[in-house]
Amino acid sequence: MPAIGVFDSGVGGLTVLNALRARWPGEHFIYLADTARLPYGSKSLHTISQYVEQCIAFLRNYDLKAVVVACNSASTALLERPMKSDVPIFNVVEPGARKAVEVSSGKRIGVLGTRATVFSEAYVRAIHRLQADTEVFQQPCPLFVPLVEEGWLDDPVTNLIVYRYVSAVVRNNIDTLIMGCTHYPALRAAIAKAAGPEIQLVDSAHGLIEDLTRIQPLEAKGGGKTQILCTDFSPRLEETIRLLLGPTPIDSLETVDI
């Protein structure tokens, strides 16, 4: 049975993989973490586009029914430079923007993201395409990715850093906040605490599930498989992967050269 390829620069896309697996436990997922070149979010869109093309081309060596680009920085690059492909390629920016517009009550949306995502303004454009009179306030959070890669999800240092970035965007009276990097849902508890109970948090994985459902019927009954591939391996990486994936078994964990 063809698999669903999922890719991110590191472990952040596992937050997306978790959501997809919970929805379709019978599917076979192949997750590629480009850990040798992480982070993407501090690089230029030109460089990120090259990485995205290489990662998708590598995943296409497997029998796939879809590719999910579970990285906002990579999705941003893909939206700027779309790729031709005979299997559908899904990004996480458009579904995140759509969900935010759906839940926003006051048309004031905040976006947390990497520098690449924020400077590309991909969310601003995607939100304005759906609802032109929405005000969008962006905040780059370059320290979040290393905290997640380190597995510091619940730590006083993490709470302090999260508070500093989140309070800077909440100051704009936003009603909705997009976690515009797939690493950030791993910090959801800290982000929610810093944002306060009035602000709706948006995880693009939810919109992505709707997009996948629209395109193809997927296997909702159990028995699926999870294969993890990474371009650089360390025991620490494996610990963080297991921390983020929780109790679900990993069928294989391999290092690959793309």
Identify the three-state secondary structure at position 184.
helix
- Among 21, 29, 31, 41, which residue sits at the site for ligand DGL (rule: CB under 6 A)? 41
- CA distances (Å), origin 232, targets 160, 179, 236, 246: 30, 26, 11, 21
Instruction: Report if residue 12 touches ligand DGL, rule: CB under 6 A.
Output: yes
CB 86, min distance to ligand DGL, A:
25
> Phi, psi (5° rounding) for residue 180?
-85, 35
Query: What are the distances in angstroms from CA 223 to CA 25, 26, 59, 229, 239?
Result: 7, 5, 22, 20, 24
Round to whole Å and give the CA distance between 69 and 169: 26
231 binds ligand DGL (CB under 6 A): no
According to the binding rule CB under 6 A, does residue 9 interact with ligand DGL? yes
Please report whether residue 117 would count as binding ligand DGL according to CB under 6 A. Answer: yes
Distance (Å, rounded) from C-alpha 73 to C-alpha 80? 11
38 binds ligand DGL, rule: CB under 6 A: yes
Q: Does 211 bind ligand DGL (CB under 6 A)?
A: no
Closer residue to ligand DGL, CB minimum distance, 120 or 134: 120
Of 40 and 107, which CB lies nearer to ligand DGL in the complex structure? Answer: 40
Please report whether residue 7 would count as binding ligand DGL according to CB under 6 A. no
Q: Which of residues 45-104 bind ligand DGL (CB under 6 A)?
A: 71-73
Instruction: Compute CA distances 218 → 56, 69, 71, 116, whole Å.
Output: 21, 18, 22, 32
202 φ, ψ (degrees, to nearest 5) = -115, 125
Among 35, 158, 182, 226, binds ligand DGL (CB under 6 A): 182
Is residue 244 a contact residue for ligand DGL (CB under 6 A)? no
Task: Fill in the amino acid letter for 63.
Answer: D
Which residues form the interface with ligand DGL (CB under 6 A)? 8-10, 12, 38-41, 71-73, 114, 117, 145, 181-183
> Could you give the residue numbers annotated as active site?
71, 181
